[in-house]
């Protein structure tokens, strides 16, 4: 049950992010759920490789380059999921920051409510 709650919270976080960042568009709940699945897969299989390849840059920027990697993850998901789009890399970077914040907030809230 915990994975379904996590999936729903990630989709909700993506939907909320799209409401705050004008360059990110989610057409509805189904698109948000599909995008959350794709982002999860990309985070699991592709992101570790990207982090390894960009390790020197990430170290020089004290980890801030991770937001660029997260923006690439969002862009990749937008290429695959119909109804989910990213207008530019700058909007994707801003969305990565907002999504990180919203996801953390929802995760803590769910733990306080014992949802997951």
| pLDDT tens profile 35-59 | 999 999 999 999 999 999 999 999 9
Cα distances from 62 to residues 56, 84, 88, 112, in angstroms, run 10, 30, 24, 31
Domain locations in the chain as residue ranges:
2-112
* pTM across the whole model: 0.89
d(CA 79, CA 65): 21
Q: Are strands 24-26 and 84-86 parallel, antiparallel or unpaired?
A: antiparallel
Question: With bands split at pLDDT 50, 70 and 90, how would you rate the model's confidence at 2?
Answer: confident
């Amino acid at each position: 049950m915990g994975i379904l709650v996590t999936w729903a919270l990630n989709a909700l976080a993506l939907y909320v992010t799209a409401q705050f960042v004008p360059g990110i568009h989610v057409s509805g709940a189904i698109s948000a759920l599909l995008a959350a699945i794709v982002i999860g897969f990309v985070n699991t299989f592709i992101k570790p490789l990207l982090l390894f390849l960009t390790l020197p840059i990430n170290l020089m920027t004290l980890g801030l380059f991770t937001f660029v990697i997260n923006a690439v993850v969002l862009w990749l998901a937008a290429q695959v999921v119909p109804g989910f789009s990213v207008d530019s890399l700058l909007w994707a970077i801003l969305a990565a920051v907002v999504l990180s914040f919203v996801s953390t907030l929802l995760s803590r809230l769910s733990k306080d409510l014992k949802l997951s």
